[in-house]
Structure formats: structure tokens, C-alpha cells
Amino acid sequence: MTFVYNFPFFCILLCMAAGIFTSILKQRTAKILTFAVSAVVFILSALTLRLTLQLDEAYPFMMGHFPAPWGNEIRIGRLEALMATGFSAVILISLIAGMWHTHSFVSEQKTNLYCIMIDLALAAVLVLIYTNDLFTVYVFIEIMTIASCALVVVRQNGHTLVAITRYMIMHLFGSGLLLMGIAMLYGITGHLLMMPLQEAVGNIVKTGEHLGPLTVVIALITAGLAIKSAMFPFHGWAPDTYAFAPPLSSAILSGIISKAYIFVLIKFFFRVIGLDVIVTQQITPFLFVCGVSGMIIGSIMAISQQDIRRMIAYSSVAQIGYIYLGLGIGTKAGVEAALFQMLVHAAVKSLLFLSTYELINVSGDHKHFRYLHGAGYRNVPAGIVFTIAAMSMVGIPFTGGFIVKLNLAISGIAIGGWVRALVLIALALSTLLNSVYFLHTVVSIYRKPTQKLDYPEVQKMPPYVAAALIVSTMLIIYLGIGSEPILRVIETGLKTFS
């Protein structure tokens, strides 16, 4: 085994060690270390992606001296490497664009603690992407839940405390369901590693023994992860959390962390249970209905908001709906579209939260639309970036959002029947609603203010922030124009995924 094969393992250990090391650092060095770690993780993940593109199969990697059913294991394939690369790129860009204003949300003595949370959240995301062990999933979901709570509550006011209380309750409920599901699955199969589990589950389906508990397990784990990723009827915690957390935290939470849960769900569906069993157990129609209603109701809620950050938070609920729509279609094509949407939404949503902060910042710290008039002229790069991100959200061609909607529509059409009709209607309706509120926002940031607005002078946005935002925008456009290779990686990766 050559040295390159170890890179994912290095990424995980590096993030964890950096988190531990940051606890003794001062503010400035802590920030620099966090940047450095995310940059190194990005480079190593990209190299891993290159390696896996040359390999035909995914390769397992022992975490210890003992092989699969006994010791922990991670498994590295194209899809995992692609997700790790995409997510670490988004985190790196968010850090560059978002770290400069943390001092207005985080007190100086707590900055290093904040950096710990970012490092450990990144570690948890990487582990959830790579792991091949269901119990490791649970342990690192715990880390991720605690870290994300701290990321929100680091800004201490009444709003965040209320939001985080709700967040904690919902997420602990989700974790509880997940843990119960894992325990029951262990009870009926006797395994925790995913490959032996697949075999054991296949036996259960074949013989029919313990089939009832298996259905309950699937329901529990799906519900737990759906709650944690803000699927529509369980989205109650999301808007307040995203709207009041520091912008960098919102970007990481809604861009990356909620996607990691969905990736675990996809891994559970494909690698542990098998997509055909999921379809025959009637889980996919449930996800489909939740996805469609989330797309529409999330957008309607977003239209009724007066506060720009709450609006973006509700649109996040709608966008998560797209992912669950793709999963709910229940074919490989649908899941591919969902995976692509995960990448696109991670890039777009983090960009939206960060550029919105810049717009708010030049408008006297007001978040209501009527104060934002003319913000696009006061901060030109942020305005342009916001507009392009909004275009991607609506699904204008040449942006990532268009490809997502196209692929969802294609995979829906292939099914036929009422699914086809529902997918098309939902996509059309949701596009219409998306364009209503994003057009409204873009118009209001480019509208000449009716009276002379006297906003206090603020610190100018550093040029490297503008550069990071523009790089991220180019990423979105790249996802729209050059989506073909990425889609092919997702397709071939999904073949070797299970």
C-alpha cells in the first residue's frame, strides 16, 4: 500500500489533533492553524480524489491492526473523495470569507474555543463521509451535534439561546432515534461494520426472520437523520438557528453539516440496507412526499419573511427538500441528482450567508429588506456574488442549480406515472416561488433608497474576502457549465459505493 492511500486517515487525525492543539493557542495562532488545517485537508482530499479516479474499486482502510468485522474501518471511493473535496473546499472558502468578522460575534478569549469547534466539526464531517462502521457514525454525530451547538451559542444573546435550546432538543431526539436504530440493528444482525451488515441484512430479507424489526430499524434511522438534516416536517429548529448564529457558523451548519447527515443516510440506504429493500419497504414515498412539501412550503415561508437571513434559512429548508425529492424518487438517477444538489447547495448556501452578512454590514447592521435598499452599490462584490448565488438558487442556466433541477426532472420523467407529474409540478412551482423571493431580494438590494440613508462607517471588507467570494461564485458557475465530469464521478462512484 503506497503512501497516498493513507491521506484520508491523515486528514481525519489532523483535524482532531488540530482541534486538541488549538485549546492551548491564542486567538491569532488559533485562526491561522484552522486555515492551515482546512487548506491541507482540501489538498489531501483532492489528491485522494485523483487516486480514486485511477482505481477501479473503492478500497477499505483499517483503523487499527484488525480487519473488518473486528476493528474499525473506513472505506475510500470516488464518491467519498469527491464529497470530502467539495466540502473541505467550501469550508476553506467560508473560513477565508467569514473569519475576518468573527470578532464582532465571538469574544476574544473564546475565539480559540470557536476554532476548536470548527476543526472538530470538519473532523466529524470527514469521518461521516469515509467511515464504514455504524457505531463510529454515531460517535462522530455526537461530536458534530455538540460542536454545532457551540458554533451557534458562541454568539450570546437571547435569540441564540432560544434557538439553540430548540436545536438541542430536536437533535438529541434525532440522535436517540439513530442510536436506538443502530442498537436494534446490532441485535438482529450482530454486526456494526457495514459490509458484514449488508450480508446479514440480505439474509434477513431472504429468510424473512426478524423482518419486522428491520423495518422499524430503517424507519428509526431514517427519521433520526431526517430530523437532524432539517427535512420538512422536522425543520422547526432550522430557521432561528441559521438566522441568529454568526454568519460563518450558519454557512458551515447549513452548507456542510446538514449535508453530512444526508450523506450518512445515503450510505445507510446503499451500503447497509440496499436501495431495492428501501424501495420495497415503502420508505421512499415518505421521503418523496416530505421533499415535495418541503420544497413548496419552505419557499412559501421564505416569501413571507421580512428578515433577509430568515428568508435564506427558510430557503435552505426548501433546498433540503430537493435532496429528499431525489432520494424519494428511489432510482439511482434520483440519488445522483440528490448528491449533485448536495454539492451545489453546500457551495451556494454558504456563499449566500456570507455575502448577506457583507450586505447587512454596510446597511447599519439591519436585516430587514427596507433597510437593505442600495446595499448592492455600497458593497459591489458582495452584491454581484449574492445575485449569482440567487440565480443558482432559482435555477438559471449556467449555474449549478439549473443542472440540479434538470437532473431531478430527467430522473422523475424516467419513472413515469404520477411520480413524473408530481416531480415536474413540484419543480415548476418551487422554481416559481424561489424566483419570487430571490427576485424580490435582488431588486431590493439594487433599489435606490427612497430617502437619504445615514449608515455608520464600517470597516471595509478586506480584498481577500472578495477574492474568496468570487472564487466560490466561479465554483457555482463551474458546477453549472462543467457539470459533466462531476456527474460522471458521482455516477461511477455510486456504482462502487455499496
Partner 1 sequence: MSKRRSDWESRPQARIRKWYKEGFLALDNEIINHLTQTTQLPLHTEEEVVAQQEAMSTRQRERTLALERLDQYNMLTWARTRGRKAITRLHVILALALGAMMIFFLLETVAQMPRFGDPATPGANIVSERYITKGLEETGATNIVSGMILDYRAFDTLGEATVLFVAASAVLILLRIDRNKDGSPVQELIAAESDDQHYEPRNDRILQGSAMVLVPTIFLYGIYIILNGHLSPGGGFSGGAIISAGLILYLDAFGFEKAGRFFTYKTFTWVSFFSLMFYALAKAYSFYCGVNNLPSGIPLGMPGAILSGGLIMPLNIAVGMVVACTMYIFYALFRKGGL
Please report, as ranges, the residues that interact with partner 1 according to CB under 8 A: 1, 6, 9, 13, 16-17, 19-21, 23-24, 61-66, 69-72, 107-110, 113-114, 116-117, 120, 123, 127, 133, 135-136, 139-140, 142-143, 146-147, 149-150, 153-154, 156, 180, 184, 186-191, 196, 200, 210, 212-213, 216
CB of 136 to partner 1, least distance (A): 6
We find the least distance from the C-beta atom of residue 310 to partner 1, in angstroms, to be 22
Q: Given the complex with partner 1, which of 110 and 332 has the nearer CB atom? A: 110
- Shortest separation between residue 65's beta carbon and partner 1, angstroms: 4
| Of residues 196 and 449, the one with the C-beta less far from partner 1 | 196
Shortest approach of partner 1 to residue 49 CB, angstroms?
20
CB of 118 to partner 1, least distance (A): 11
First to last CA, the chain: 22
Closest alpha carbon to 214 in 123, 292, 283: 283
Looking at the Cβ atoms of 167 and 386, the one nearer to partner 1 is 167
Whichever of 17 and 36 has its CB closer to partner 1, that residue is: 17
Distances, alpha carbon 284 to alpha carbons 127, 275, 334, 372, 469, in Å: 26, 9, 11, 42, 37
Cβ nearer to partner 1, comparing 24 with 206: 24
* Closest distance to partner 1 from the beta carbon of 199 (Å): 11
Residues 6+ away with beta carbon under 8 Å from 135: 182, 192
Distances (CA, A) of 337 to 82, 123, 341, 406: 14, 26, 6, 9
**Nearer Cβ to partner 1, position 117 or 339?**
117
In sequence order, what DSSP letters do the residues of 434-473 get, joined into one string?
A: HHHHHHHHHHHHTSPPSS---PPP-PPPPHHHHHHHHHHH
Amino acid symbol at 487: L
CB 275, min distance to partner 1, A: 23
Is residue 75 within a helix (H) or strand (E), and if so which, with residue range? strand 72-76
Instruction: Tell me the three cell numbers of residue 291.
Output: 421533499
Q: Cα–chain-centroid distance for residue 371?
A: 30
Output 70 or 464, the one with its CB closest to partner 1: 70
Q: If we measure between CA atoms, which residue out of 380, 383, 402 comes closest to residue 393? A: 402
Of the pair 139, 477, the CB lying nearest partner 1 is at 139
Q: How far apart are CA 441 and CA 53, in angstroms?
A: 41
DSSP-derived secondary structure letter, 192: -
* CB 172 to partner 1: min, Å: 13
Smallest gap from Cβ 24 to partner 1, in A, equals 5
DSSP string over 97-126: HHGGGGGGTS-GGGHHHHHHHHHHHHHHHH
Q: Min. distance of Cβ 193 from partner 1 in angstroms?
A: 9
316, 315, 285, 302: which is closest to 423 by C-alpha? 285
- Pick between residue 156 and residue 304 the one whose CB is nearest to partner 1: 156
CA of 459: how far to CAs of 104, 186, 189, 358, in Å? 11, 55, 59, 11
Query: How many H-runs (helices) and E-runs (strands) does the chain carry?
Result: 21, 2
**Residue number, 200 or 323, with CB nearest to partner 1:** 200
- CB closer to partner 1 out of 71 and 397: 71
> Which secondary structure element, helix H or strand E, spans residue 87, and what is its range?
helix 78-98
State the amino acid at position 1 in one-letter form. M
> Please, which residues have CB within 8 angstroms of residue 106's CB and are 6 or more apart in sequence?
114, 154, 155, 246
Q: Cβ(333)–Cβ(479) under 8 Å?
A: no
Q: How far is the CB of 110 from partner 1 (least distance, A)?
A: 6
